[in-house]
Structure formats: C-alpha cells, structure tokens
Amino acid sequence: MSDMQILTGESLDRATLLRLADAGEPVTLTQCRLDGVDLSDLDLTGWRFDRCSLQHAQFNAARLEDATLLNCRAAGASFLGASLLDAVIEGGDYSNASFLGATLTDARVSGCKMTGADLTDVQAIGLTLREVLLVMAILPRLSFRKAQLSGVDLSEADLRGCDFRDAVFEDCSLRDAHLPDCRFDGADLRGADLGGIRLTDARLFKGAVISKRQAGELLGQLGLRVL
C-alpha cells in the first residue's frame, strides 16, 4: 500500500475529491475547505478530515467507514444514509447536521456540538457518546441499551421511544427532554439532570435507579418533602 496522501489548506471541489476517491487509497485533509461540496456516494473509507470546514457539505450515501473527523466545522452538513461504521468523530460543530438513516454502528463520538442534529432512523449498535451536546437533537427510537453515557446533554431533545434499559448516566442531562414511550428499566439515572420532568412522567422511570434528591424533586410537585 502506498503512503497516505495529505492535502493541507486547500479548497476542494467534487471533481478533485472524486479523483482522489477513485485512486482507492485513504487521504488526509488538513484545514481544507469543502463548504457546500457534494461528496455523495463517494468511497471515503479510512479518510481523515482534520480541522476541515465542511459546513453544508453533502455526504449522502457516502462510505466513511473507519474515517476520522477531527475538530471539523460541519454545521448543516448532510450524512443521509452514509456509512460511518467504526468512524471517529472527535470535537467540532455538527449543529443542525442530518444523519437521517446513517449507520453509526461501533462509531465513537466525543467532544462534539450536535445541537439540533437529526439522527432519525440511525443504526447505532455499539455507538459510544462522550461529552456530546445534543440539545434539541432528534433521536427517536435510538437504542442506548446498556450504554455508558458520560457528559451527554440531551436537554430538550426528541427522545420518543428511545431504549435506555440498563444504561448508566454520568454528568448527563435529560432536562425538558421529550420522553414518550421511552424505556428506562434498570437504568442508573443518578447522574442525570431530570429537571423539567413532571411527576406524571415518573411512570417512565419504573425499574430505574434515582437518587433521594431526584425523588424529592419529583415528590415536591405534590408539596411533599423527602427527609
């Protein structure tokens, strides 16, 4: 295998990226500009995007397996149906990005801002989330079963039908999240901010572990105090 090609500080268009992808070897792009560029259907397996600007770029149905996206600016980018199997997304801004129907199996996402991102119908078995801002994100029916969630902010997120069974929350937030039909059996919620959760929603947490403080906050809605 030849040495990985490295491009630095360039503005790239689809024609150039198609030529690079057709060569069949991984490429490293460092501080390159791809804003609004269409990368749909390209095979970008093993590519590395380092501090690139990917705002409103289109990765629809692209292959990003084993790819690394490091500290990229990707607000509004589209990953519809993309394969991010075993990909690493570390740092950067993915606000309002769309991952509709994407594959994030065994992917690792950390230190990212994903405010308002759409993860509807994502395949996410083995997905790892650490220090991710998912405020107002859309994640219906996503499975977090047995997940270890650390520093994940799901405030005001759409979590309809999500599976949190046996998940462990550490320094996380579910404040004002939309939780109809969620499952929390066996979940450890002691490290989650449950602010805004109404007592009428408490049935969702049947079988979960909460702290005395959290129980007191829920019962406080009835004018009761837990001592």
Confidence of residue 199 (pLDDT cuts 50, 70, 90): low
Alpha helices in 26-166 (DSSP H): none
Least confident of 43-52, 56-65, 166-175, 197-206: 197-206
Please state the rounded mean pLDDT for residues 37-58: 98
Predicted confidence (pLDDT) at residue 8 exceeds the cutoff of 70: yes
Which residue in 119, 69, 117 sits closest to 91, CA to CA?
69
Max mean pLDDT among 59-68, 119-128, 179-188 falls in 59-68
Q: What is the pLDDT of residue 225?
A: 62
Mean pLDDT, residues 65-93:
98
5: number of Cβ within 10 Å: 13
- Per-residue model confidence (pLDDT) at position 1: 40
Query: What is the arithmetic mean of pLDDT over 47-52?
Result: 98
Q: What are phi and psi of 133, to 5 degrees?
A: -95, 105
